[in-house]
Structure formats: structure tokens, C-alpha cells
Amino acid sequence: MKAIEQNFRRVTPYVPGEQPKKKGIVKLNTNENPYPPAPGVLRALAELSRTPDALRRYPDPAAQELVQALAASCGVGEDQIFPGVGSDDVLAIAFQTFFQSGRPVLFPDITYSFYPVWAQLFGVPYRCPALDGDFRMRREDYYGENGGILFPNPNAPTAIAEPLSFVEDILRHNPDTVVIVDEAYVDFGAESAIRLLPEYENLLVVQTFSKSRSLAGMRIGYAVGSPLLIRYMNAVKYSYNSYTMSAAAIRCGVEAVKDEAYFRETTAKIVATRERTARALKELGFVVLPSSANFLFASHPQYPGRQLYQALREADIYVRYFDSPRIDNYLRISVGTDGEMEQLLGFLASYTRGEG
């Protein structure tokens, strides 16, 4: 180590899903939406290209137009919305805002792998209660003293959703700490905790446009919470970067929220494809966890997960593999178009018959 490095921060970074540049691949590894954004989004981009001042000038730091659209869509006040550059940005600000007690923050041992990275980066102590044998959270693990609670619902990478009664039970047992429910995948079959906001001032719900709104490339996320929580998050945001969202992201986000019919159409198509694919995988001998997300978590009793992952990759079919305890025999498979899933299933059928 060079002398200058001794004063550098050293962290173990989050490892994002691979973004291969090859053409003609089947990309099922990062849970992107296989369908294009709402038509209004593309019109907004075209209009933006004809309005040079929109790019020359700073965007609205409060993203007020997007906040108004989200507040109307969620049925809450505008002072209950916090927009950000993807839900990762929103969650990072939440870590810095709410997890300052010195007590450990709780999140599951099998979950979104960015959580421990943020905890280490921001110096937040944490503890990871283990999921049970069915990969479900145990509510009693979240009853003791803590500095905050965070979990995805549906969980990632398992795709399992907990009922709203579970979320409310956690809230009732933790009135003095902030409970964050990360709902990146909620639109594919789970029930949002937003309806609990009138009763629980300590609840923060985080959602994203990357999955159900087909805007992963725009990086749009938001939190919905009590005016108290949103006010504190804004104070942290404006302390280091006021202009977080681009003008393009704000305009595209508004158009995506406005087209409710398109949103419901595409999410329904993904759910239908997910269910067909789950049935087909089971017929091939796979164990498939019940999914409420836009991906499946599956393993095969005869073929190790790493082996299947490598074989698929060599066939230009990309899925996600986690070399982690308890889940190292599973593959996380994003739901693509019907055609893409047929390619996946065709390869797996041949492989499990010994033809691969």
C-alpha cells in the first residue's frame, strides 16, 4: 500500500449485474422491463430535443412537476413525496438521515446486497436476522431494540412477498424507529404499504421507475412517507446536492405516471409470462420459489446453480447467480418477453436432457 492510500476510505463495493454489449443475447440478469416506456415518455424526449433551454438551464431542484404527479397517483400530499435518482439514491439518503442512533439497523441476511454496503460506507452498525427455511422473514426477529428496520417487499433475490399484516406488525412493534419498506417490485403482485401511512409516522415506502415503468436508464426513484420524514430527507439532500434529477428524468417520469393504462397492461403481461415460465421450469424439475416480482428464483436438485449459470452464459443467455451461503444453488431469472423465455426454457430443456 502506498503511503497516500493510508488515509483513503476502503470499502467493499456493491457488484451490479453484468451489462453485456454483445448483440443478439437474451438478457435476463438485471430485472429490467422487457417492454418500452409509455408512449408519452418518448414524446417528452422528442419535445426536449426541440427545447434547448431545458438542457442549458438547471432542472427544478424540487422536481415539483414529478412530485405533484406522484402525490396524485399515490393519494398523498405533495409534502409526503421525496424524488431521487433511482431508488438507490433515495435509500442512500434515508441511511444518512434516519440511521444515526448508534444502534444496529436490521435487515434480512438474504436481501438486496446494497444494504450492507451503505451501512459500511456510512458507518451504520447493522444486524441481519436469518430468513427461515422457506426464505421468509420471522417477524419476532424485528421486535427488539434497534436503530431502524429495512427490508424489500417483495424480497430480493427471493421474490417472496410478505402480507401487509406482516408489515403492520413490524410497525406496531417499532414505534420509535423508522421502518423502510423497499417496494422496487411491488407492482408485480404484492400489496403496497402506502395505505398504512396515515397510521404510522415512522413508515417510509420506497419505489422505483426502473422495473414496472421501464425507465431503468433514466434513474428515477421516490420515497413516500410522513411530512416529518420527508422534511428531514430534504434537509440532508440539500446539504450536499440540490440538483439531483435531470430535466429529462423529471419530464419522462411525469409522463410515465400519467399513463396508468399502459402501466397496468405491461405489468399484467409480465405477470402472465412469469407464471407460465414458473410452471414450465417446474415441469423441468426446477424448484421455483413463489414470486410476486418480475423475476423468478429457481434451483435444480441435479444441476448446481453455478454450472447452469455458466452453461446459459455460454449460450448467450444471461441470468444472475449469487455465490452466497444458502442461495448458491439458485438462479435469479428476470422475466423477459415470451420469446426470450421460450429461448431460456428451450435451452434448459435440452440441457437437463443431457443434450447441452
Cell, residue 299: 434451483
Q: Is residue 148 very low, low, confident or very high in pLDDT (cuts 50, 70, 90)? A: very high
253 and 324 together in one domain: no
Separation CA 11–CA 120 (nearest Å): 7
Q: Number of folded domains in the chain?
A: 2
CATH number of the domain at 317, please: 3.90.1150.10
222 and 301 together in one domain: no
**In the chain, what percentage of residues exceed pLDDT 90?**
89
64 and 134 together in one domain: yes
66 and 152 together in one domain: yes
CATH number of the domain at 149, please: 3.40.640.10
Domain around 152? 39-258
265 and 146 together in one domain: no
Whether 288 has a pLDDT exceeding 90, the answer reads yes
Q: Shortest CA distance to 323 belongs to which of 311, 312, 310, 314?
A: 310
Please report whether residue 73 resides in a domain.
Answer: yes
Which comes out higher in pLDDT, residue 202 or 17? Answer: 202
Please report whether residue 277 resides in a domain.
Answer: yes
Q: What's residue 53's pLDDT?
A: 86
Q: What's residue 356's pLDDT?
A: 57
Q: What's residue 36's pLDDT?
A: 97
Separation CA 340–CA 203 (nearest Å): 38
189 and 315 together in one domain: no
pTM over 0.85: yes
Whether 76 has a pLDDT exceeding 60, the answer reads yes
Please report whether residue 26 resides in a domain.
Answer: yes
Cβ-based neighbours of 356, under 8 Å, separated by 6 or more: 311, 347, 350
Of the residues 258, 281, 303, the one at which a domain ends = 258
Please report whether residue 53 resides in a domain.
Answer: yes
Please report whether residue 4 resides in a domain.
Answer: no
73 and 29 together in one domain: no
Q: What's residue 11's pLDDT?
A: 85
Report, as an integer, the average pLDDT of 263-269.
98
245 and 285 together in one domain: no
Please report whether residue 115 resides in a domain.
Answer: yes
Report, as an integer, the average pLDDT of 271-288.
98
Please report whether residue 128 resides in a domain.
Answer: yes
Please report whether residue 10 resides in a domain.
Answer: no
Whether 243 has a pLDDT exceeding 60, the answer reads yes
Report, as an integer, the average pLDDT of 322-342.
97
Report, as an integer, the average pLDDT of 36-41.
97
288 and 333 together in one domain: yes
pLDDT in tens, 196-228: 999 999 999 999 999 999 999 999 999 999 999
Separation CA 354–CA 284 (nearest Å): 12
Whether 95 has a pLDDT exceeding 70, the answer reads yes
pLDDT in tens, 123-143: 999 999 999 999 999 999 999
Q: Is residue 9 very low, low, confident or very high in pLDDT (cuts 50, 70, 90)? A: confident
Q: What is residue 108's three-state secondary structure?
A: coil
Of the residues 235, 258, 281, the one at which a domain ends = 258
Report, as an integer, the average pLDDT of 59-85.
97
209 and 291 together in one domain: no
pLDDT in tens, 152-194: 999 999 999 999 999 999 999 999 999 999 999 999 999 999 9
What are the φ/ψ torsions at residue 161 (nearest 5 degrees)?
Answer: -105, 140
Q: Is residue 339 very low, low, confident or very high in pLDDT (cuts 50, 70, 90)? A: very high
24 and 164 together in one domain: no
Of the residues 258, 273, 294, the one at which a domain ends = 258
Which comes out higher in pLDDT, residue 356 or 114? Answer: 114
Instruction: Please report, for residues 18, 127, 139, 256, 349, the alpha-carbon distance to residue 33 in angstroms, rounded to integers and kept in the order given.
Output: 16, 32, 31, 13, 25
Kindly report which listed range (52-61, 98-107, 188-197, 292-301) carries the lowest average pLDDT score. 52-61
30 and 53 together in one domain: no
